[in-house]
Structure 1
Amino acid sequence: MEHFVEGEPKPSEERTSVEQLVQQREEEWCFGMIIGLQTTTVLAYTALQAHIPLYNPKDSSSLFEISTNRHVGEFGRHARRVMDVLQAELSVQIFADRTMRAPTPNTKNAFSKGPYEPQRGDSRLSSEVYVVLYGQPSQFENVGKFAGACNLFLQHPVHCDRNVLYKNPHCLTPRPHETTFTYDLEHATFSSDCYSDTLSNPIDLFTDGEDRARLEEADSPHDLHTTLYKHQKQALTFMLQREEGWGLDGPRRDVWKSDLVAGRLTYINTITGRRQYKPPPSFRGGLLIDAPGLGKSLSIIALIAAGRAKNAGSTTLLVVPKSLIPTWKDELQKHLRSDSTLKYCVYYGKEREKYLDRVGDNALIITTYSIVRNDWKATLGQSGDRTLLHSIVWSRVVLDEAHTIREPSKSFAKSICALQADIRWAVTGTPIQNRLMDLFSLFKYLQAFPFDDVKVFNSEVTEKWRAKLDPAAVAKLKTLVNCLCLRRPKETVHLPHREDKTIYVDFSSVEWYQYQKVRDGTLDQIKSAYDGTPGISYLNALRWVNQLRYLCNHGTASNQIRKASRQEPMAQRSWSELEAQTYFDELDQVGLAKCSNSECGQDLSSVLTDDDHCDEPSISELLELYCSPCVEREGEGAARLRKVCNHLPRRSTEPVDGFAATGSLVAGDLSSIAHGQSMLTDSSTPSKIKRVLQDLVETPDDVKSVIFSFWTKTFEILQPKLQAKSIRCVRLDGSLSATGRANVLRVFRTNPNIKVLLATISCGGIGLDLTAASRAYIMEPQWNPMSESQALDRVHRLGQVKQVKTIRYVMRRSFEEQVLNLQRRKQELADLTLNHGNINKDELTYGRLQYLKELVG
């Protein structure tokens, strides 16, 4: 994959001093430090100084002090075997500290394989020995896997005897874009990044587990028409293995293992280290979280077909967002043989109950999250009797877009967890957005004992991670998730070449004059907001900031916005439901739609989901936002809360104070122009639209393109221009029903005369196959760079046969350049509550104003 920038100088061929330093030292990295190898150390020598450099001769268990060559201790049998391997493959640095703890008989170090039991008259005490590991960059993954297999966890090193690049395979990189050397660690702090409940790059947790490349390739089920790729056959092997239950014995890594102790069978939890005599509750299933574009849907279809072949009466319940029902029907039709015995039906609509009369006749029943919730609610208050979906013990339940149940207190999650099933699978590309608790809801649904209990999850995962009570918290969590999930990166498969290009566009002289004028006014608004009434002055500043974004896309068409924004002072506006919706959308547009509860911080930005809209957030007059679970816990005292819609299409249909709410983003329609967009002259056509038209006209006739934008208004300007140039297009946005979206995609895919698909970014990144196109255009930088990536992955994925070209447009010297800068600082965007204590309303407003000021530049 290549990336080019048009309109910007090419990077210098010369390396920076840091890059030169990295190149000079790339022959050796530090992989971290091991603590916990079982040793005994002589008291007389360990108490003399803060840390004592030691060495361990080859093929020996003895430890010697380097400066005196005196014998000071011994490695235990298990530790010696580990050290033999480490010293054969790596360079090691060994030292002891002066802190000593007398070992208690019959107790066991958490990281050791056996206890040290002092004999009568033994004058030795157990002391911590530290082993720092150094090696070649190519050994990075293997070091992490070996240490994990030995139940040892690499931590941030101290007292390093050389200054080399530090890369720890057992710790999420605290600052992914910074270079850290071992000597820097003496003054470095990692607690806020490595042990916060908020994760800067959550998917790192799932990237370095067990080597999945060694999985055997399962045979393709007979009912499949499509030939499975190698990685999909391996996925089928993994899923079939997980459906057999816990790997209590045998070589497969798992959360639970059986062990014979004193002739009695016991069961040990490999994450917590705790033992029990009772077998753990049955668990079959897991998470399939392959990177977007690897064909997770086909892997699930293969699993269902394989299960049906083994058990003719087995039935799988597949739960999907309503919008994806047509997509799944297309997938089944495409991949199954015409004579397949794998029958399926859709459980939806008023007469849906008739499909459950003979469940066993169908291998697959497809339904939606909202239907599961509605059926679950119908069972409440009926003396505990189960009806409809919850009355059946399903052979298998599969959740697509499983992050839908991310919040365990919401009705979606509760109703899904109430389903009865022998096997449970969760399919998602984003198992964690920002918080570890996102993962708990999935574990609760999977019934992955004991981590499906919130108290256990908090004590063993969240609290230790956050408070750094367990220095191995990162590695333990990685071990946990990699036992239960399968995640392969996009590079697993060979896709056609992809070229990414960024094009910088200049304002016209008229546009630049207007932009400067609005920018100055925006800075004045922000400045006055610091001293104004909390909330009210901030609303003015927020609206002015959004005008800058409109100007970048819509040019002189943004004149109407400024006129509308000056019609009435904010303080005189009524706090109605529609007004609240408008302000929520304003926050959403600048990346500030996050729960104001500092213990939550959930992203409340717009998503495409079912049309019935449940569990929606609330907003106060002071723009305090709360997700629905936090309304009860934190938001009751907020000023005049109003519930808002954070789904598409918007439920609001009436205009408010000059702003239209027309089934699309409310704020997106602020730039409506009285005259038809087709009447725009060449001189008044926005510069960015001109550039897009130029690129589309120059596109070869056999190439289809997708254009992504945040606003439907962009398409209202662009669409007539395309028609005027005889470029036929179709449009996909939140105002369409699920059936309408499916029809648009089918036409785009099958009609050779349709060259362009216009898609809002919120619709284009969810569960769609856009491989009919080989060009993708991003009209404006998005606040969340993941939304861009997800949209582009719809084009560059399995099924794409052409080389792909993606183009991002950025207005030079504009607000959009600031958005790019803030994309690179995702962690700061993820935490806008300023602290981890009780929320302070003044600090919230002040922090947001600082954020807006930085955006304006």
Structure 2
Amino acid sequence: MPQKRRKIHDDRDLDEEKINFGSGALDGQINTYTIDNVQKDDKTAALNGNQPLPISIVHDDSDEGVQITSDSEMREVCYGRIEGAEVMAFKVPTPKPGAISISSGFWPQVRIILRRRLGEKGNIIHVVDSTRLIIGTVDVNTAIGLSPLLDSNHGIRTTSRILTRARKDNDPLPGNDFHARYGLDLNLYGPKKHALGIGKHLSQKNLWLRTPLFVEAGVELFNPHVIKPPQPITQRAAVNLQPSYRQQGLVRTTEEIRNDVIGMFDSLHRSENLPEMDPNHRIITKLLKHQRQGLYFMLHKELTSKSDGQINNTSLWKEVHSVDGEKTYVNLITGQEEIEVPKQVFGGILADMMGLGKTLLSLSLIVHTLDVEAEEWAKLTPILSKDGKSTNPSRKGKTALPKLEQTPLVLNAKTTLLVSPLSTISNWEDQIKQHIKKGSLSYYIYHGSNRLRDPRKLAQYDLVITTYGSVASEFNHRSKKKAGSYPLEEINWFRIVLDEAHMIREQSTQQFKAINRLSSSRRWAVTGTPVQNRLDDLGALMSFLRIKPFDEKGGFAQFIMAPFKMCDPEILPKLRLLVDSITLRRLKDRIDLPPRYDRLVKLDFSDEERIIYDIYAKNASDRIKVIVGQRENSLSGKSYVHILQSILRLRLICAHGKDLLSENDLKVMNGLSKDSAIDLDSDGDDDFSCLTQSQAHEMYNLMKETCSDVCLTCVGKIGPSDTSESDGDSKGEIFGYMTSCYHIICPGCFPKYKSDIEEFAKGQKTIDCPICQQNIKISYVPLRQDIYDDERQARQKSKNVPKPVKSTIEYSGPHTKTRALLEDLNISRQKSKSLPPESPIKSVVFSGWTAHLDLIQLALDDDGFKYVRLDGKMSRTTRTLAMDTFRDDPTVLVILVSITAGGLGLNLTMANKVYVMEPQYNPALEAQAVDRVHRLGQKREVETKRYVMNDSFEEKMLILQDKKKKLASLSMDGEKGRIDKAEAARKRLEDLRSLFK
């Protein structure tokens, strides 16, 4: 009878209990597979590897976990079907002779063999059909996870087939040379005892096991990605983490998971009945009820817990007593059992919606612990935490930097380190002056080239405020062993607070790694959007907070991501338990805000504007038709450039006519009419072998304008850092790489991607891109911070964008939108004259383009408006001056704000009119910007207006927003990990068609 799984805690060497999976074939080993096996049962045999391999998979997250098994545990089971596997074929697969299809309109299914060549290094898995010939390879993503399993000596095998597919008139015959991608029905088999280890390995590679379409007769289906919830434990008993099979018909998409999780956050209601805590005497502002409750919550999460069954203040571990009185501790979510008391977590997530006073609440927490707790911490000798993680500055690969060990700590400090975006530092300073008794809190802005470098001097302050860019910059210099003093890692801070904590959501970035290396006693993540795009965003916060076992990417994937993706009905209650134990989340209905009225204003082009728009719209539509006719199933290379250029031109014309177009854009109109023919070759040759730095950065800029600036591999945002954030240290920094066919990869994913492509190419200099199938030269153009800045300045100069010094001859005058804005502003100005002694009506004007703000400035000057401006290119001092002037000067009625700079941490409650000049691809940007006005502290009714041109591309954007098609369906749709990239390209093409109908 099988024995229950049990964790053994002793000092024995457990190396023999580990399952070791590697990443390549073994030199000199004899492959048990021979080509004659094709005639047997079409099963893949594994290599008899016997060398230790780098990926270790045990049966739980601890290296001390062992499995006590019986013979039945060696019984072969089917683990499931690997989702999204594909054959990258260079020949049409040939069915077995006599194979029968379901009808004359379909090809028969083709049974295939997966083959690893002797002595071949890397992850390539060859595909063999019934002719015994290699017809292609398994797609790169699947091969990376599957090849180590096939190379192991643990009895892992596969059965696979290319399923029946529809015939087309122009289909080449089987055996002919032809490049295509075919869906692969790939089942994985092996001993039952290895199921959990293999499941964990695959999830770490973002491979997921689905319900198979076929299972061999007499073989049990045992899917490790369908996790059985832990059983209630009433006595000391072995915790059985073995999964039980549950029939699954669907897999949640990233968007569905995101909506579920956000809904769960918004429904948290435990905060309604929290006790209240009065603030420290240093706080001179009266706290509202929800803020006093918030202060209680945050202080409670920083208290040392007493043993009362729930053994720490996260409530995720329960103390269990056996009949003989022995104590163990069980994780309520994972079922993991520990003998030692799990380390307590001090801190959590403050996730109140924007506008509820998170800044004041955080300051109240900081000053509350200054006199006792912080001082006591500073007296202790610093000890390197066992949780401290050695870090690879870049992802593992051939070009990875050496491992960076944990920095020795110099001292404990009473200081709270506050990390924030640069744009919010002035708001923190304002809030300190407004809410804290003068002289009762010492603080220091750690930013700029002349900042303090002595850790002992920094430790004298109660609060140190720095930027994400400064932290990342120190980590970058330390990892490159540059000379200098970098004190942030040398101090064991009393508390670390991350403002706008979602900025660390991309775990492959230096920013995330740098923040995670900092040491402290207490940690708080402050963000109104803990989950922005996908569930992984929450995983990054778990890592920062050290919530075990979810702080490791593998643990979060195994216990949270996999069950969510596989529709486990138990996972949402578990996630709620996890989040509720560390999170405070209140919605705006907890406070009385003045009403907000949102209005969509549709405007008609003038006759001249309509003529210009129609010419470019016809040109864009015809381009799409030509491209669709040339490439039915793919979207890449020059085609992609054409489409993004066309879309950007139409959006710019909607915003301010031809004044926003570059000189190159205006050339398109020369000699062009609505009836002109389209020549795609007029913009240059479709040559993928000579991509220049300038072309790469220009293409990146187009992607950025359409929210397509995401990594091909991890789908994280790719972009240069704000140079003012990092004190100029980022100059020359590489923020991404572009392939010859215009895919972009982030620095974290690049080494692995490059290695996989080189192995796939087998020494050839050209390759059919595994994503878009274009034949390209294997080369990568680094996207560099300094070149990006130079290109951006050059683009600005090349545009017909009038600066105040330009003559009015070059300027066609205000556009329809600007005229509508001026009309609204003048109405507010007239009303303000009747308000004294009340403060005047002030307005915020948002635009996605700084060039558009330049044009609006001209119109404001001509109409006699006094204004200030805020955009991402301004220094901290200049931003602070602009905000102070807008707040304090009654004659300044308007602030012009770049929507990307205005979405983080600004307090614009001195205004109550909001104007959004053009719809954004990411509607969340608009919502965040507007919430900077409608928030705690607002005394007046708020009115927002969004200007949209009638019968234009902007209306199509609104439709896409309403349908919640992320990133306007022009880029990868935010799907993380195992997505069908070819299908994503087809979907993008279809969405593009709809935009131009």
SS in 1 for 2:624: helix
Distance 1:697 1:650 in 2: 42
Contact 2:230/2:333, CA 8 A, preserved across alignment: no
Q: Which residue of 1 aligns with 2:741?
A: 622
Distance 2:804 2:282 in 1: 56
Equivalent residue letter for 2:491 = I
Q: 1:683 to 1:437 in 2, by over 3 A?
A: closer
Q: Which residue of 2 aligns with 1:800?
A: 938
Q: CA deviation at 1:410?
A: 2.4
User: Which of 445, 454, 467 matches 1:346?
Assistant: 445
Distance 2:454 2:476 in 1: 19
Q: 1:670 to 1:683 in 2, by over 3 A?
A: closer
Equivalent residue letter for 2:994 = E
Distance 1:437 1:232 in 2: 29
Contact 2:351/2:528, CA 8 A, preserved across alignment: yes
Equivalent residue letter for 2:745 = Y
- 1:93-137: per-residue Cα shift (whole Å, max 9, x none)? xxxxxxxxxxxxxxx98455669x9xxxxxxxxxxxxxxxxxxxx
Q: Alpha carbon RMSD of aligned pairs, Å?
A: 3.5
1:417-432 to 2 correspondence within 5 Å? 417-432=516-531
Distance 2:256 2:739 in 1: 26
Distance 1:109 1:633 in 2: 34
1:136-175 to 2 correspondence within 5 Å? none
1:225 pairs with 2:294 = no
SS in 2 for 1:199: helix
Contact 1:587/1:593, CA 8 A, preserved across alignment: yes
Q: Which residue of 2 aligns with 1:18?
A: none
Q: Which residue of 2 aligns with 1:490?
A: 588
SS in 2 for 1:280: coil
1:53-452 to 2 correspondence within 5 Å? 110=230, 112=232, 191-193=251-253, 199-200=258-259, 202-245=261-304, 249=308, 254-262=315-323, 263-311=325-373, 313=375, 314-340=414-440, 342-354=441-453, 356-377=455-476, 379-380=478-479, 388-452=487-551
- 1:737-793: per-residue Cα shift (whole Å, max 9, x none)? 122111111111111111111111111111111111110000111111110010001
1:632 pairs with 2:691 = no
Q: CA deviation at 1:608?
A: 5.6
Contact 1:286/1:424, CA 8 A, preserved across alignment: yes
Contact 2:902/2:929, CA 8 A, preserved across alignment: yes
Contact 1:810/1:816, CA 8 A, preserved across alignment: yes
User: Which of 605, 613, 622 matches 1:507?
Assistant: 605
Contact 1:290/1:486, CA 8 A, preserved across alignment: yes
Q: 1:246 to 1:267 in 2, by over 3 A?
A: farther
Q: CA deviation at 1:455?
A: 2.4
Equivalent residue letter for 2:948 = V
Distance 2:979 2:647 in 1: 24
Equivalent residue letter for 2:523 = R
Q: 1:330 to 1:478 in 2, by over 3 A?
A: same
Q: CA deviation at 1:478?
A: 2.0
Q: 1:379 to 1:816 in 2, by over 3 A?
A: closer
SS in 2 for 1:268: strand
Equivalent residue letter for 1:644 = L
Contact 2:867/2:893, CA 8 A, preserved across alignment: yes
Q: CA deviation at 1:491?
A: 1.7
- 1:515-545: per-residue Cα shift (whole Å, max 9, x none)? 2222111111112223458411331222112
TM-score w.r.t. length of structure 1? 0.71
Q: 1:675 to 1:422 in 2, by over 3 A?
A: closer
Contact 1:545/1:856, CA 8 A, preserved across alignment: no
Q: 1:322 to 1:734 in 2, by over 3 A?
A: closer
1:660 pairs with 2:795 = yes
SS in 2 for 1:218: coil
Equivalent residue letter for 1:230 = K
Q: 1:809 to 1:650 in 2, by over 3 A?
A: farther
User: Which of 791, 816, 819 matches 1:687?
Assistant: 816
SS in 2 for 1:370: helix
User: Which of 964, 969, 974 matches 1:826?
Assistant: 964
Q: CA deviation at 1:323?
A: 3.3
Contact 1:768/1:794, CA 8 A, preserved across alignment: yes
Equivalent residue letter for 1:511 = E
1:601-620 to 2 correspondence within 5 Å? 601-604=715-718, 610-611=725-726, 612-613=729-730, 616-620=735-739
Equivalent residue letter for 1:430 = T
Distance 2:972 2:866 in 1: 46
1:692-703 to 2 correspondence within 5 Å? 692-699=821-828, 700-701=831-832, 702-703=840-841
Higher mean alpha-carbon deviation, 564-573 vs 622-631, is at: 564-573
1:563 pairs with 2:666 = yes
Contact 1:232/1:299, CA 8 A, preserved across alignment: yes
- 1:152-204: per-residue Cα shift (whole Å, max 9, x none)? xxxx9x9xxxxxxxxxxxxxxxxxxxxxxxxxxxxx975334x7796246522
Contact 2:453/2:487, CA 8 A, preserved across alignment: no
SS in 1 for 2:933: coil
Q: 1:724 to 1:331 in 2, by over 3 A?
A: same
Q: Which residue of 2 aligns with 1:593?
A: 709
Distance 1:500 1:196 in 2: 26
Contact 2:366/2:416, CA 8 A, preserved across alignment: yes
Contact 1:198/1:434, CA 8 A, preserved across alignment: no
Distance 2:569 2:792 in 1: 55
Distance 2:857 2:807 in 1: 8
Distance 1:495 1:680 in 2: 47
Q: 1:265 to 1:803 in 2, by over 3 A?
A: same
Distance 1:467 1:743 in 2: 52
Q: Which residue of 1 aligns with 2:920?
A: 782
Distance 1:482 1:725 in 2: 53
Contact 1:245/1:285, CA 8 A, preserved across alignment: no
Q: CA deviation at 1:217?
A: 1.0
Q: Which residue of 2 aligns with 1:732?
A: 870
Q: 1:466 to 1:635 in 2, by over 3 A?
A: farther
Q: CA deviation at 1:494?
A: 0.9
1:848 pairs with 2:848 = no
User: Which of 616, 637, 650 matches 1:518?
Assistant: 616
Tell me, which stretches of 5 or more residues in structure 2 are unaligned? Answer: 1-227, 238-245, 376-413, 671-681, 758-768, 770-777, 833-839
Distance 2:460 2:266 in 1: 39
1:546 pairs with 2:648 = yes
- 1:780-817: per-residue Cα shift (whole Å, max 9, x none)? 11111110010001111111111111111111111111
Contact 2:315/2:581, CA 8 A, preserved across alignment: yes
Contact 1:677/1:720, CA 8 A, preserved across alignment: no
Q: 1:354 to 1:217 in 2, by over 3 A?
A: same
TM-score w.r.t. length of structure 2? 0.62
Contact 2:659/2:812, CA 8 A, preserved across alignment: no
Q: 1:357 to 1:578 in 2, by over 3 A?
A: same
Contact 1:607/1:762, CA 8 A, preserved across alignment: no
Distance 2:900 2:911 in 1: 18
Contact 1:318/1:398, CA 8 A, preserved across alignment: yes
